[in-house]
Amino acid sequence: MKLVIPYTLRRFADFTKLGGGRVILSPYDLESLVFEDLRVQPRITINSWSDLSDPVETGGACRNPVYVSRELIECSAIAGFSHLEHGVAVVRGSRNYRVITKDEVFAGATLVTDSRPGAFVVAVHDGSRAHVVLASYEDYVVYRDAYEAKPVKCSLGFKIATCVFSDGRSLIIRGSDAYEVGFPAEAVASTLRGPLLRSGEWLLYADEEDLKPLLRSRARFAGFIQGLPAFREGSKLKILESGALVDYVDVEGNASAWDLVVEDSGETLRVIDLRHEEILRVPKDPEASCWATKHGVLCCRRLWCGLVDPGKTAVDLEISSGNTYSLTIHASTPLKVRHEGGEMMCSGDCEITEDEASTLRERRFGIVLEHLLSTMEAEVVFKPPRIEVFPEGLSSNKFT
């Protein structure tokens, strides 16, 4: 019996040993993998997932610990970012908030934060100056005495952060650089053209020397097409080109772009290339999520992740019966196999042995094959030999 999986896997990682419930892609860098339920984790990227080390999962009696470092764990934090080397914790005291890093503590009565999976920004005012801390899995930066006015809002975009202050000005943080602009700014993305921001309903580029308003739009940032920022607006994916949002392709569900356009509508994965041609359309389980990345199409289902390519993957089921019933599964893609006797992980060849074979009865049992995007079911039938009686009284067993 042959089954077909309607895609191929270029790379695959099984993070089951780490626990953590579910893996998602960080929208902050579109590179780091985030384990939603882990207290703390190492930085794991699409390029480095084969080199991961086990995360520290202690935390003593803490219910929701925030790791400031390997040695310092804050049990009473109300917000923060856990990291074994450069975490940030926010603690509420009787009079002030405290922002705790591995090197210093900032205290103040006014505090604002923003967070995304994989990144955290906080601004605290100590009565005379505001201090800002930005942390991600890759690094963290501290801006002491960043501004005089009190912070009112911080925001995170793709590899960029902003904090708006009570006088209407903003601090833009891009990598290790920080500078002021004279208007309230919301972070959208760091692009080849420069920091892409939103102010009110306006999209604009702004750096230390130049301000270029583009257009009014509340479209949502979705990635890049050949270096141009891509946005989702209604049922359209658009690219920002020459100061205008230009229609690119029609999309449904969650859509992201990194040259390839990935449309994840819950029950279907669709991939469109730069020629606007559909190169992949496959059914998927809603619990699997897919994104466009610079490495290709990344899909994660619970604690499995893989890079998905067009093509087909064959799964061969080979049955045999001697003293026992035996089913051999030949698979070039990782599978979780469930059957009456339990479940097992299978990659390559694996064998299921059932109870003792009988020459008198047919044996049927079902198997469930779970792969990265979906689940297949199959029924395997072991048939007894057919006996033919010849005129001379001799018999011959023929297996069918």
User: What is the secondary structure of 53-77 as a DSSP string?
Assistant: -PPP---TT-SS-EESSSS-EESSE
46 located within any domain: no
13 and 87 both lie in a single domain: no
pLDDT of residue 257: 99
134 and 8 both lie in a single domain: no
E-strand spans in 158-275? 160-165, 170-174, 177-181, 186-190, 195-199, 202-206, 211-216, 220-225, 228-233, 236-241, 244-250, 254-258, 260-264, 268-272
CATH, residue 365 = 2.60.40
Identify the domain containing residue 393 by its residue range.
Answer: 314-398
234 and 143 both lie in a single domain: no
Which among 296, 311, 326 is the end of a domain? 311
pLDDT of residue 55: 57
State pTM to two decimals: 0.89
pLDDT of residue 39: 86
Q: How far apart are CA 238 and CA 229, in angstroms?
A: 9
pLDDT of residue 124: 99
Bridge pairing between strands 220-225 and 254-258 = parallel
95 and 179 both lie in a single domain: yes
Cβ atoms of residues 11 and 306 within 8 Å: yes
Q: How many domains does the chain have?
A: 3
Model confidence pLDDT, tens digit, residues 268-288: 999 999 999 999 999 999 999
Q: ∠ CA 16-19-25 to the nearest 5 degrees? A: 85
Which among 311, 341, 363 is the end of a domain? 311
The pLDDT of residue 394 is above 60:
no
The pLDDT of residue 353 is above 60:
yes
284 located within any domain: yes
Residues 6+ apart with CB under 8 A from 58: none
The pLDDT of residue 150 is above 50:
yes
49 located within any domain: no
The pLDDT of residue 301 is above 80:
yes
pLDDT over 70 percentage in the chain: 90
273 and 356 both lie in a single domain: no
Residue predicted with more confidence, 213 or 133 = 133
pLDDT of residue 113: 99
pLDDT of residue 396: 45
Q: How far apart are CA 12 and CA 90, in angstroms?
A: 36
Model confidence pLDDT, tens digit, residues 372-384: 999 999 987 877 6
Residue predicted with more confidence, 307 or 323 = 307
66 and 187 both lie in a single domain: yes
**In sequence order, which ranges of 145-207 are alpha helices (DSSP H)?**
none
Burial class (CB in 10 A: 0-12, 13-18, 19+), 348: exposed
pLDDT of residue 231: 98
67 and 7 both lie in a single domain: no
Neighbours of 124 (CB within 10 A): 24
212 and 349 both lie in a single domain: no
In the predicted model, what is the mean pLDDT of residues 41-65?
Answer: 73
291 and 338 both lie in a single domain: no
pLDDT of residue 358: 59
Residue predicted with more confidence, 210 or 134 = 134
159 located within any domain: yes
pLDDT of residue 398: 44
136 and 238 both lie in a single domain: no
212 and 223 both lie in a single domain: no
In the predicted model, what is the mean pLDDT of residues 346-367?
Answer: 75
Of 147, 177, 145, nearest to 165 (Cα)?
Answer: 147
pLDDT of residue 391: 62
pLDDT of residue 57: 56
The pLDDT of residue 56 is above 70:
no
140 and 273 both lie in a single domain: no
**Range with the poorest average pLDDT among 215-224, 307-316, 362-371, 386-395:** 386-395
201 located within any domain: yes
Model confidence pLDDT, tens digit, residues 66-121: 999 999 999 999 999 999 999 999 999 989 999 999 999 999 999 999 999 999 99
Q: Which pLDDT band holds residue 395 (cuts at 50, 70, 90)?
A: very low
- Average pLDDT score, the chain: 90
Considering only CA atoms, give the Rg of the chain: 28
Q: Which pLDDT band holds residue 327 (cuts at 50, 70, 90)?
A: confident
Cβ atoms of residues 257 and 224 within 8 Å: yes
pLDDT of residue 342: 87
Residue predicted with more confidence, 157 or 351 = 157
The pLDDT of residue 291 is above 80:
yes
393 located within any domain: yes
Q: How far apart are CA 37 and CA 35, in angstroms?
A: 6
**Range with the poorest average pLDDT among 71-75, 353-357, 361-365:** 353-357
52 located within any domain: no
Which among 157, 185, 216 is the end of a domain? 216
69 located within any domain: yes
